[in-house]
Every structure is written in C-alpha cells, then in structure tokens.
Amino acid sequence: MKKSLFIINDKLESYDPLFEKIKAEAPFETEIMPYRRFLSEELKERFAKLDPNDIFFAFEAGLFGFEHREISEYLRTIYNRLFTNILLLITAPELVKDDDVILGKKHCFYVHGSDPAAEHVNNFILYVIKLFNECVLSNRLLDYITHSFNHIVNSELLLKKKEEIELLNRELELKNKTDSLTNLYNRQAMFEFLDRESKRTMRDLWRISSFLKGEANAQLLTYDPRFGHEPVGDLLDHVGVFTVMMIDVDHFKRVNDTYGHLMGDEVLKTIGALLQDKTIFRESDILGRFGGEEFIGIFPSTNVNNALGPAMRFVKCLKEKNFQTKGLEPFKVSVSIGISEYHATDASKEEVIHRADKALYWAKEHGRDQIAVYEKLY
C-alpha cells in the first residue's frame, strides 16, 4: 500500500503553497484538509482500514494541546505504537522544546515562511521519509514483543527471537543517530560520543596518576597544555587526551544561490563520503554532521598536533573534487577548520567544542580555506 501523509491546515493556511509543492513532489500521497473534515466519520472509517506503517498526520503544534485534545486522544487510540503517527509543525523556533525532540517524545518540523523554497520542500520530504522508516522498524519491533512470544516453545527458539529483536533495536538506534543526507552521525549522536570520550579520557588520566603516584617519573603528568609543548615522554601524546575538529563549508550560501539546492546537497554528500573514507581517517575517529553545512570530528587518543594529519588529508582530497552543474563551469569548494584539544581542567565537555568553534571562526575571518588550532592561536 502507498504511504500517505494527511496535513491538517488549520492555523497553517498561509503555508498552503508549501504543502501543495510537497504534494506535487513527494514520493508518498499527500492530502491537505481542514480540521472539521479530519474528524468526519468518513475519514475515521478510512483511517481505521490503513496500516499504521503507511500513514502519518501533520498539523500545527497548537492543535495538539488541550483545545483539540480529541486529535491526540483519537490518534493514540488507533495507533498506540512505540512511535505515534503524529508530526507537529512548528511555526516559530521558540516553540521547539529540544528535550521533547531529542528524547523522541514528539516528531517536530519547523516550517519557516510560506514561500515553497526547494531546500525547505526537500528537507520536509526527507524528514517524513525518515519518520516512515522509523515507524516500520518500531512496529516490527512491537509486533515481535506482542505476538512472537506466543509461538516460542523452547529455549532455542527464544534465543533466535531475542537475536532478531536485538538486531531490530540496533537498526532503529542507528537510524535515530544517522543524518539522512550524509549518512554521518547526527548532532545528538556526536554529543553522546563527546560525553563518552570525555569520561574515558578522565578515567585514563586517573589511572595514570594512580599508577605513577610516588614514583620518580611522576613528572609525566606535569605538562603545559600549550600548543607545541610536549610532555616528558610520549605517553600523554596518546593517553588521557582527545581532540575535536569543527568544519564549515566556505561560502555555502553562494553555492546554493548559484548552482541550486540540489547541488548544495551534492556538496554535503561528497563531504560526508570523504569524512567516512578510512584512507583519510582512522577506524576509531568519529565524524558527524553538526547542522547545516557544519561538520564535527572527534579524534580519540589524539592531541592537536597529531589531529592535523587527518585534517590536512581531508582538505587535500576535497580540493581534488570537481563539482559540475549542467550548463555551468565546474567549481570547487573549500572549508575552514578549527581544532582544539580536550583539557582535564574543562568545566564541561562542551568547552572543547567552543574552543574549536572559536578557532574555526578565526579561520573564516582571516581568509577561509585554512586550518586553525586554538591552542596555537590563544
């Protein structure tokens, strides 16, 4: 059965041009209707016959509140699933509650402006496709939990079902952590990796300190973190340290304006592919899309000096790429990069990102297309 999206346009009438554009271009069926028709008996009978995997309802976020509680209660009664089939459309950024989105309590999409810009239409369509994929995986998982165990008669079958459920859980977790355009880790996943890496680094420093306590070579822990100053010995080059790299595509708006948003997406996909290239980065390096045209890398057990190697290899490979749009001359893109090392004295794990970001903006303000190291600059 073809997948369907039903948009309730109450309080969203000015966005009808956007919805009509989505309706024309989406690979799923899209219907736009007022709130009264949505609750008609005719549509209720129709909805009841549809597979939950194949249907989503989108409406203005305010309709989900007390004023129209029957919408949420009615949908939850029919589609009582791990992922409810509801997409809330946000018309003002201050209405987005990050905790709700990050924790998966609600599916939200920020619609800005009634002009159906190609990028906005594409982003909306990609997001709805992602929701459909999540819905399929979640419902498969729920079906296993509620139905499969009725047929389990021995421990061997139980083990097989357990493995299948674990596989579905891993697939669902991976989808929730992956950026749909570049196939890199998304912002939420990168913050989880940053938290894990900062805790691992502090444990390593504690172990070194405990091991060397009272020893003659305890000076290994006495070092100046300024750029270019090496600790006594090589141990702290690779243990009790990690580095963060922030990447921003230079003049990305100009690429979109000159060559179109589809070519802009192609640039981001190419950068995503390079960031996953294991001839440039190590297996242990963690790369993700931070948002828009900004990317982030976490290099475990690596100081800023050693992080320059993969950063320079990435820049070199990107410079060799030509992008071509029909009827226009080929063009190249460059990036600005900021790098900083995690400090044991950091008050929070986010401080290393702020430093790398500061170095990135220094690079952009001083001509772009370069790598800046915070510890060298400041």
- Domain range holding 69? 4-136
Check whether residue 40 and residue 115 sit in a common domain.
yes
One domain, residues 102 and 202: no
- Please determine, for residue 85, whether its predicted confidence score (pLDDT) is greater than 70: yes
Asked if residues 116 and 101 have their Cβ atoms less than 8 Å apart, the reply is no
Nearest to 200 by CA among 342, 356, 4, 376: 342
Token pair of 142 as six digits: 């729920």
Res. 302: pLDDT tops 70: yes
Q: Are residues 105 and 200 in the same domain?
A: no
Specify if 158 maps to a domain.
Answer: no
Just list the catalytic residues. Answer: 293
The reply to whether 163 falls in a domain is no
Residues 8 and 124 in one domain: yes
Residue 219's pLDDT is 42
| CA-wise closest residue to 346 among 372, 307, 375 | 375
Statement: residue 228 has pLDDT above 60: no
Please tell me the total count of domains within the chain. 2
Do 121 and 268 fall into the same domain?
no
Range name among 35-39, 78-82, 240-244, 266-270 with the lowest pLDDT average: 78-82
How far lies 66's CA from each of 63, 73, 182, 231, 295, in Å? Answer: 8, 11, 38, 61, 39
Q: How deeply is 131 buried, as exposed, middle or buried, from its count of CB atoms within 10 A (0-12, 13-18, 19+)?
A: buried
What would the two tokens of residue 5 be? 């999206």
Identify residue 256 by its one-letter amino acid code.
N
Q: Taking 50 as the threshold, does the pLDDT of residue 364 lie above it?
A: yes
Residue 28 lies in a domain: yes
> pLDDT digit string (tens) for 335-357?
999 999 998 888 888 899 999 99
**Assign residue 127 a region: left if phi > 0, alpha if psi is -120 to 50, beta otherwise?**
alpha
Domain identity same for 105 and 240: no
pTM above 0.75, yes or no: no
Query: Tell me: the pLDDT tens digits for 45-80?
Result: 888 788 877 888 888 887 765 455 666 666 666 655
Residues 6+ apart with CB under 8 A from 105: 99
CATH assignment at residue 36: 3.40.50
275 shares a domain with 202: yes
Domain ends where: 136, 153, 171?
136
Q: Are both 268 and 365 inside the same structural domain?
A: yes
pLDDT above 70 (res 214): no
Query: CB-based contacts of 61: which residues, under 8 Å, 6+ apart?
Result: 88, 89, 90, 91, 95, 108
Six-digit token string for 40: 């008609």
Residues 132 and 193 in one domain: no
Helices (H), the chain: 16-25, 35-38, 41-48, 69-78, 98-102, 118-147, 155-176, 187-212, 235-238, 252-259, 261-275, 304-319, 351-365, 374-377
Within 13 Å and on the Cβ side, how many CA atoms surround 42? 3
pLDDT reading at 4 higher than 80: yes
Residues 104 and 224 occupy one common structural domain? no
Highest mean pLDDT pick, 190-194, 220-224, 269-273: 269-273
Give the pLDDT confidence of 157-186 residue by residue, as tens digits: 667 777 887 887 777 777 778 888 998 999
In a domain, 143, yes or no: no
> 315 pLDDT exceeds 90?
yes
